[in-house]
Amino acid sequence: MPNEICILCGEETAVDINTHVDYRTGYIEGAGQLCIKCYNKGTDRQHITIPERFIKDYPNDMELGSKVREFYYNSYK
C-alpha cells in the first residue's frame, strides 16, 4: 500500500493511506498528514496562532497589529 505524503515537506511518510486518522501520528485535522520529522519539529516553527476574534474585534489594522504584538509577548515570551 502507498504511504501518505507529508503536507509540509513533500516526503513520503510512514503512514499507510488506508490507516484511519484516529490511529495516526502527525495527522492534523483540516490540513493532512505530517511526516515524523515535521511533526516533531512542532513548536520549533517560527509561527504563532492568534484567536480568530482578533480579526473581527479590531477593525483598525494598527490596533490589530498592536494586539497581535501584545498577545505574542504575553503568550509566547
Asked if 15 touches Zn ion (CB under 5 A), the answer is no
Asked if 9 touches Zn ion (CB under 5 A), the answer is yes
**What is the smallest separation between the CB atom of 9 and Zn ion, expressed in angstroms?**
3
Among 4, 6, 15, 26, binds Zn ion (CB under 5 A): 6
CA atoms within 13 A on the CB side of 74: 7
Among 4, 24, 38, 77, binds Zn ion (CB under 5 A): 38
| Cα gap 49→51, rounded to integer Å | 7
